Structure 1
Amino acid sequence: MEHNLILQPLFALIMLTAIVWIFMYVRRLAFILNNRIDPQRIATPEQLNSVLPAEINNSSNNLKNLFELPTLFYILCLILFATQHVDMIFLYSAWAYVGLRAIHSLIHCTTNVVNLRFAAYFLSSLVLWFITVRLAVSVL
């Protein structure tokens, strides 16, 4: 199997992060400009959060989420690539993780139905821990 295939889901998650970042700024700036909010009034994260409604802040919260557990995913993908342990199970698991994180982001940035969002988060976490344990067993 080509070991570089594991880099595809890694870059897909990076692209998801970029999309959420763009979405966050488009929504924030539109709200700030449409409501003529003085930038000095939202100079700190606390001030920004107190002024922006939750539906505008959800994408910011999701962006923060994308810098939590997904950082482990990046490390795991790089370890898989470097050690040449990539197989179909790791590859499909990596894509499942990215797909579930994309579903989580879509829910968080739009409807924010907490039960659905949590289900996507929980399932993605299970996939991540599966990759972690399986990789640890295979390299140690």
Structure 2
Amino acid sequence: MMITYEWRGGFDNAEVNALHAEGFNHRALEVDWLTRVQRHSLGWVCARDNDDLVGFVNVVWDGGAHAFVLDTVVAGSHRRSGIGAELVAEAARQAREAGCDWLHVDFEDDLRPFYFDACGFKPTAAGLIAL
């Protein structure tokens, strides 16, 4: 398995939709990911095993000091191999290079070991309003 990581890597919507559906356990949607990330994101990282998209993370930002990790996902066949942590590490490198001071993430409790232990995030107080 030779995994490559590419900042602002090329992808087609169908492959991200399929990966997202598998990773977040929902039916495949027809989201226009390319338009979404080009409009709202600092960038994104694609992980590929040869030509297959096996990982993806979106990095949105406020245009200044804060970047946010969203939609971190790895194909089921490639989980627990370090791909997710490397996706986040590349996102952090690129956000830092863009001049961001902070990289934020929110997640469900079962992902605490991944984000805190594997990725190096620190716990903080935060708030959330369900809309």
Q: Higher helix share goes to which structure?
A: 1
Considering fraction of residues, name the structure with more strand. 2
TM-score by length of 1: 0.29
TM-score (norm 2): 0.30
Structure with greater Cα Rg:
1
Which structure is richer in relative contact order (CA contacts within 8 A, separation 6 or more)? 1
